[in-house]
Structure 1
Amino acid sequence: MSSASGTGNPTDKLDFTGLPPDSLHIYNEAALGTLEFELRYERSSSELHCTVLRAKGLKPMDFNGLSDPYVKLHLLPGACKANKLKTKTIRNSLNPVWNETLTYVGITEEDMHRRTLRLTVCDEDKLTHNELIGESRVPLKRVKPDQTKHFHTCLEHPPPMPSPTAMGEALRGISCYLREWENEQLHSLEERGRLLLSLQFLPPLSLEDKDVEGGGGGEGRRSGGLCVGVKRCAHLAAMDVNGFSDPYVKIYLKPDIQKKSKHKTTVMKKTLNPEFNEEFFYEIPLAELANKTLEVTVWDYDLGRSNDFIGGVSLSCHSQGDALRHWMDCLKNKGRRVERWHILTNELPQTLSHD
């Protein structure tokens, strides 16, 4: 975890210079408060650390003229349940101090270029629904790897959702933009969490290697094949009423005519961030592997009824993006273990078995 130290780091400071007095007065009347926090992306571990430091001058939300504030983090675009983190609640304060570090794992460099971190300050209310005080959004491309960046921002009202009629008027004639917007919304709905996989193609042992390993007996020696390591998942979608899941992972190597390629991990109870650290081996020549598809799915175990599909990913020469890069890196680097995080989507593969 990174500490809340920003000495010597670049700082985004508030700047009210140049504003006319009337504008400043209007701003002060509508002020929601300010939020101070730090972001640090650790490239080697694929972790994004957000240290929520403090807020000042928050808008009072309770009858006593105070608030019970906490901060929610949400990566955009992305499914809400799969990547939402929150701080503790500070009672009866308009100037809360958290000094709390929240960490996202499985964040790739591609994420840092295309995603935005939304920080929402809310007032907790035990009798009614929690109220939103204000928010701040930071494009992650502003954070350089392995450097702590300090932010001190004004909280803002969330952007209003336009009505379909107004939206149609505003976007009339720019169908390309609308298609991109719709694709982004679709992508944000599809993401169900992250999965860390390792792939390693192990070449067959030569006769000399077998003699060294086993004294020349020849029995039980390894042929060439694919070693699949299911490491861990992060920020899975919650499938149970308790806000958690009981996840396990299934893998298939297709086509699988004889239906012998299925492997399953153990079930991890009540967690959205399970660690499996299990490996499975497929005995197969490299030439045949180039025509195969590795299908990996994550499920929520339910006793006495059908298990719930959480998300999955398919890796082959016909995949795209990170899945294709991971598969090709494995095939091109015999003997080397290659690890990569993958985004789980809600697209259910052809395998419909729930066992």
Structure 2
Amino acid sequence: LHDNLGTVRLNVYEQGHNNVNYDFLGSCEVKVKYVDDDSTIFWAVGPAQSVLISRVPCCGKEVELTIPLENATSGELTVKLLLKEWQFSDGSKAVANYNPALVIHDQQNAVGTQPVQPTFTGRKLKISAIEGRNLAPMDRTGKSDPYLKLFYGKLIRKTKTVNQDLNPVWNQDFIFQEVSGGEYLKIKCYDADRFGDENLGNARVNLEGIEEGAPKDVWVPLEKINQGEIHLRIEVVASELLQNPSTNGSENGSHPTGDGCMVEVVLVEARDLVAANWGGTSDPYVSVRYGQIKKRTKVVYKTLNPAWGQTLEFTDDGSPLVLHVKDYNNILPTVSIGHCEVDYDKLPPNQTLDQWLPLQGVNKGEIHFQVTRRVPERHLKAASEEQPKLIASSNFSGNVRSLIRKAMTLAEEEEEIEYIRQMLEELEGAEEERELTVTQLQKDRDLLITKVKELEKAMSGFF
């Protein structure tokens, strides 16, 4: 199956004499769709053009459907379907006995193992998508409209589309936090098409062994296709130019993040929620989105005042924290009954924010939660000894990037509006470029002032 929707088609034949001829008796098909709450819906056309539908809450659950044969005067087929797993573009997957409150990041993790969070080395990588050459032609004109997607850690970045060119030039830079453990950079090249983008090949690049001051310039051949190469430049961003949020604090330098630092979210309760069911109640649960990670609470059935009392934890990297309250439905997709964004950026380490917030997007409803930034003592000591390294414009840049990522998160919730996400990603990249340039200019100015003072001191000996 591809994308979030697929079709299973079954053809029924009658075996002829001597196992030679096979007479076609009819066919039927089952549609399969992935839903954002990690459930899966199966449906088919039933008797008298009715709809047969069944929903399973997670992978590994079996469904059974009895479907009439198409193109036949009579006959029906009973099938049992068991979905093994869903795989996602960021490398995560939903597997049998998958708990939607957990996210499996490593595609090679065995079923039942604990999810692995990416850990950062403390460095930042600048990956430049420079150009491509000899790409495969996909259009009738003998050309393609190529663009790249770069996957690293939890992030996905996308270049601009170059129209009608088999040797495109992108010249776009992207900043990533370096991930430990031999994480590969994954590249996918696509031909943009109005009716569905076509794959032009993919590649993997090993980023181990890259040293500061020694950029890696490579041509990477595309795999799973007969032609095409991508030109990349990979380098470590100098530590004095960009302060690393994973070790020195959040993007405004106010909080330690990274190894051992956690954001603890307690979903306590909600009150006066919107009734989403015919009976005047709802079956509410909370889907918590922290950056690109989603976790969820249990479902509390038939109430407008649920009490969850559940604690969820995330590795603190300064990402936006958004709470989505949803009504669980056994057959149809879930319904949103409000959301809110938690502003925890100014929360002091190891102190708890206990708050009721009104839900947005609906006319009533509030949610009660507690948020704590758990920071080990060693990080607090290191942060107290470190002097601020960024100028005021860097603080502004951090705030702008934070707002951009929040908007990206909301765009994803609205059925992944690709155009909006692309614009926001490009804007975030431009903001990081501006910060890098401003900080470099300050460094050059300080160096110039030092040289002028040395020159003045040297010249003073002649008078």
* TMscore range, shorter length: 0.3 to 0.5
| TM-score normalised per structure 1 | 0.38
When Rg is computed on C-alpha atoms for both structures, the one with the higher figure is 2
